[in-house]
């Protein structure tokens, strides 16, 4: 049985179904960029909250604006200066998202204004003093309702460069000190212990992803209905 977009394995009259949505998860893709934002924001949320819970701390959100006299400096140099300043501020760690533009509140137009958003852990006072010394401007933002919403907002208009990460991790949350956790994938059917079989559902366009995914057990008599509805 071949039904594209799904995987199935089973035992007897029951089957375990895993359904997938096709996506390239690229930030530059007009179709998939929202899924890229959601995935990156969820990864950042888990990383920030895991560290915060372990230290019983709440993350802070800081906007770090480059001095206008340095606005034409390459992003590579600006990141080097940022790293130096963060070390001087003795911050613990967190994520940095670069924004090359800002929006004029009156006209709604975007204009060049390189700045960084820092979401992480450290002393607000030390960070303000450190960036003041290097003539960069600091603004402490009020905490949003959730870390996930914060990163969704930041990634919705961040700088995108080929072969460059939009979210960069520093300090105790860098990948060298806190490796990325790999999510365990279900590669065999938990019902019968056999490999999944790729199947194609011919009643839907093979390129169109389902509106929602389905994971779970179904009876073989209801298999066609379950795939069609999902």
**Per-residue pLDDT in tens (0 to 9) along the chain, 230 residues:** 333 334 444 445 666 777 666 677 787 788 888 888 888 899 999 999 999 999 999 999 999 888 888 888 888 898 888 888 888 888 899 999 999 888 888 898 988 888 999 999 988 888 888 877 778 888 888 766 789 999 998 998 887 766 667 899 999 999 888 877 665 666 677 767 777 777 655 544 434 444 455 667 666 555 555 455 54
Torsion of CA 54, 42, 170, 156, to 10 degrees: -140
| Six token digits for residue 141 | 């933002």
- Looking at residue 144, its pLDDT comes to 66
CATH architecture of 33-171: 3-Layer(aba) Sandwich (3.40)
User: Residue 149: how many CA atoms within 13 Å on its side-chain side?
Assistant: 4
Res 143: pLDDT = 67
Q: Residue 159 has what pLDDT?
A: 77
Residue ranges, CATH 3.40.1310, the chain: 33-171
**Closest of 34, 173, 36, 153 to residue 99, by C-alpha:** 153
CA dist 176 and 180 (Å) reads 9
Q: How many helices (H) and strands (E) does the chain have?
A: 5, 9
DSSP-derived secondary structure letter, 145: S
**Strand-by-strand arrangement of the 197-200 sheet:** 197-200, 5-11, 14-19, 215-219
Q: Which two tokens stand for residue 98?
A: 């670069």
Q: Which of 122, 156, 119, 127 is nearest to 45 (CA)?
A: 119
Rg (CA), the chain: 23
CA gap 20, 3 in Å, rounded? 12
Strands of the chain, DSSP E: 5-11, 14-19, 60-65, 93-103, 110-121, 137-141, 167-171, 197-200, 215-219
In DSSP terms, which residues pair with 168 in a beta bridge?
A: 96
Residue 67: partners with Cβ closer than 8 Å, 6 or more residues away: 134, 135, 136, 137
């Amino acid at each position: 049985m071949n039904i594209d977009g799904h995987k199935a394995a089973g035992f007897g009259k029951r089957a375990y179904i895993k359904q997938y949505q096709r996506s390239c998860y690229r930030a530059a893709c007009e179709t998939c960029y929202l899924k890229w934002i959601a995935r990156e924001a969820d990864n950042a949320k888990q990383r920030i909250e895991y560290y915060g819970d372990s230290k019983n701390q709440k993350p802070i959100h800081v906007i770090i604006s480059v001095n206008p006299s340095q606005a034409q400096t390459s992003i590579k140099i600006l990141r080097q200066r940022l790293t130096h300043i963060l070390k001087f501020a003795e911050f613990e760690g967190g994520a940095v998202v670069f924004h090359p533009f800002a929006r004029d509140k009156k006209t709604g137009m975007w204009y060049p204004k390189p700045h960084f958003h820092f979401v992480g852990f450290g002393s607000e006072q030390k960070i303000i003093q450190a960036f003041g010394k290097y003539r960069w401007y600091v603004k402490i933002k009020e905490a949003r309702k959730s870390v996930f919403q914060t990163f969704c907002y930041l990634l919705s208009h961040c700088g995108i460069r080929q072969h460059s990460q939009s979210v960069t991790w520093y300090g105790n949350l860098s990948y060298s000190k806190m490796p990325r956790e790999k999510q365990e994938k279900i590669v065999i059917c938990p019902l019968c212990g056999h490999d999944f079989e790729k199947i194609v559902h011919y009643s839907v366009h093979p390129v169109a992803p389902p509106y929602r995914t389905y994971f779970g057990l179904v009876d073989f008599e209801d298999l066609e209905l379950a795939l069609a509805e999902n």
